[in-house]
């Protein structure tokens, strides 16, 4: 990950600033993270050796409320990546009108190389290192790439041990038995599906005649793929980290999900299977090939920077829904815009996760817990409402949906910055 990632993110901000009036103070403040923390996490491995891992947590902007954002375990985690993801979370929370700012965290490692017990020691060690940097009223972490409810449960438990009191609201995405919310594990993919359905209605698309390719078959990608399959869309390609499978007649998504689940051993924390070796006779493809398939809808649901200036000219999809964070670079955006591709941005499309994380935080603090149907109904109402507002901005200003989403978020951030006044920026 190069130092250009945050600069690339800021180019989206600069473009949106041309269409909205905000103070110079707010504009300047939003270009820099409020606080960034880098920590070393020593972990005793199962063989008795000691390894030290690098961890990060960034609180980007807390003007609208305590910061919110996931924690990822991945070999490419860096300070630049975490700062950029915290930047996106700031605008995501504002775009869907949550009382949160943006944050993100991560640890640099390949989690599949660690045992369950090593992962637990690592997770608890990370919380030990950042405990003074987070809190239910300061910064509320959640799961992200290669983290899950079990890991969030360990982290919440460790924070509670440190504080000597039960603190369920410090972490969201927890197991249900530890104060997690119904529907949280499916929220990102479900919210993305609601946005896709609402936006495609503008173009009179018929599901049975609409082809879809999904890059990434994890928690979010597999959920939206299944929802699209159940709704009658023709999902012709999916992929995971080791490759993908393609069938022009459409794939049996429930079988793919069953395969992924069946290859998980009882002791494993992460799925060991790959969709590449599911069905004999299907065409195997690479992740790169999937992005350039001749399909109607492309759903990048893996990692950032998947569509760049190099491969954007080859993209054939008419509509792109960003389920991953930052899967398209700003240069790739320009090329897709010139090609007439509708790109619906991550800060709207994948906001279902943070919306239901907010609901979990509210439930933890109130002690009143909702049913899965109640959570789903609240999620659907909120994300479609904000999607419609962003669509109207895009139409009224004749700008792409991404720029409209940033304009929408900036208006709310400006309101909050303005209400706060100068605070202590100029105090000597």
Task: Specify the pLDDT at position 112.
Answer: 92
Q: Which tops the pLDDT comparison, 276 or 188? A: 188
- Among 184, 176, 84, smallest CA distance to 143 is for 184
The Cα-based distances of 172 to 189, 224, 250, 364, 370 in angstroms read: 17, 21, 35, 9, 15
pLDDT confidence tier of residue 208, bands split at 50, 70 and 90 = very high
Mean pLDDT of 251-274: 59
Q: Which tops the pLDDT comparison, 316 or 278? A: 316
Terminal C-alpha separation, the chain: 37
Q: Which tops the pLDDT comparison, 145 or 1? A: 145
Whether the Cβ atoms of residue 121 and residue 114 lie closer than 8 Å to each other = no
Q: Would you tell me how many other CB atoms lie within 10 Å of the CB of residue 195? A: 27
- Among 182, 215, 167, 173, smallest CA distance to 317 is for 215
> CA-CA distance, 276 to 398, in Å (whole number)?
41
Contacts of 185 (CB under 8 A, 6+ apart): 149, 173, 219
Whether the Cβ atoms of residue 353 and residue 330 lie closer than 8 Å to each other = no
In this structure, the dihedral spanned by the alpha carbons of residues 372, 375, 381 and 384, taken in order and rounded to 10 degrees, is -90
Helix (H) or strand (E) holding 151: helix 149-163
Task: Kindly list the catalytic residues.
Answer: 104
Give residue-wise pLDDT tens across range 386-420.
999 999 999 999 999 999 999 999 999 999 988 87
Tell me the H-state helices in 251-286.
Answer: 253-262
Does the pLDDT at position 164 exceed 80?
yes
pLDDT confidence tier of residue 266, bands split at 50, 70 and 90 = very low
Inter-helix orientation angle 253-262/219-230, to 10°: 150
Give residue-wise pLDDT tens across range 93-127.
999 999 999 999 999 999 999 999 999 999 999 99
DSSP state of 381: H
Mean pLDDT of 30-49: 95
Task: Specify the pLDDT at position 244.
Answer: 86
Whether the Cβ atoms of residue 152 and residue 171 lie closer than 8 Å to each other = yes
Does the pLDDT at position 425 exceed 50?
yes
Q: Whole-number mean pLDDT of the chain?
A: 90
Which three-class secondary structure state does DSSP give residue 71?
Answer: strand
- Among 226, 191, 119, 132, smallest CA distance to 357 is for 191
> CA-CA distance, 131 to 125, in Å (whole number)?
10
Mean pLDDT of 339-345: 96
């Amino acid at each position: 990950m190069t130092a250009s990632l945050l600069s690339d993110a800021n180019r989206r901000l600069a473009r949106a600033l041309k269409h909205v009036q905000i103070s110079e103070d707010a504009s300047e403040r939003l270009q820099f993270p409020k606080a960034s923390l880098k920590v070393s996490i020593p972990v005793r491995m199962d063989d008795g050796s000691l390894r030290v891992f690098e961890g990060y947590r960034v609180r980007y902007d807390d003007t609208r409320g305590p910061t919110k954002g996931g924690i990822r375990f991945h070999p490419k985690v860096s300070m630049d990546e975490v700062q950029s993801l915290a930047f996106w979370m700031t605008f995501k929370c504002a775009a869907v009108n949550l009382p949160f700012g943006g944050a993100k965290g991560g640890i640099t490692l390949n989690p599949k190389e660690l045992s369950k017990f090593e992962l637990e020691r690592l997770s608890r060690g990370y919380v030990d290192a950042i405990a003074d940097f987070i809190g239910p009223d300061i910064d509320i972490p959640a799961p992200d790439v290669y983290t899950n409810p079990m890991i969030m449960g360990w982290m919440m438990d460790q924070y509670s041990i440190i504080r000597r009191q039960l603190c369920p609201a410090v972490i969201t995405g927890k197991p249900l038995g530890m104060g997690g919310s119904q529907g949280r594990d499916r929220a990102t993919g479900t919210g993305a599906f609601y946005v896709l359905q609402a936006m495609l209605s503008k173009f009179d698309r018929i599901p049975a005649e609409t082809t879809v390719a999904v890059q990434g078959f994890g928690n979010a990608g597999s959920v939206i793929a299944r929802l699209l399959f159940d709704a009658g869309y023709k999902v012709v390609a999916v992929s995971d980290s080791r490759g993908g499978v393609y069938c022009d007649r459409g794939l049996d998504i429930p079988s793919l999900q069953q395969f992924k689940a069946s290859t998980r051993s009882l002791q494993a924390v992460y799925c060991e299977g790959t969709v590449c070796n599911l069905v004999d006779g299907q065409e195997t493809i690479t992740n790169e090939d999937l992005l350039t398939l001749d399909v109607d809808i492309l759903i990048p649901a893996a990692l950032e920077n998947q569509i760049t200036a190099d491969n954007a000219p080859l993209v054939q999809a008419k509509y792109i829904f960003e389920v991953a964070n930052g899967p398209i670079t700003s240069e790739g955006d320009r090329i897709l815009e010139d090609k007439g591709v509708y790109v619906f941005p991550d800060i709207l499309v994948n906001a279902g996760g943070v919306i239901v994380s907010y609901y979990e935080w509210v439930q933890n603090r109130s002690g009143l817990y909702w049913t899965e149907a109640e959570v789903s109904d609240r999620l659907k109402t909120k994300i479609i409402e904000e999607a419609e507002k962003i669509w109207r901005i895009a139409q009224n200003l004749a700008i792409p949906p991404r720029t409209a989403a940033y304009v929408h978020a900036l208006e709310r951030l400006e309101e909050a910055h303005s209400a706060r006044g100068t605070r202590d920026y100029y105090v000597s």
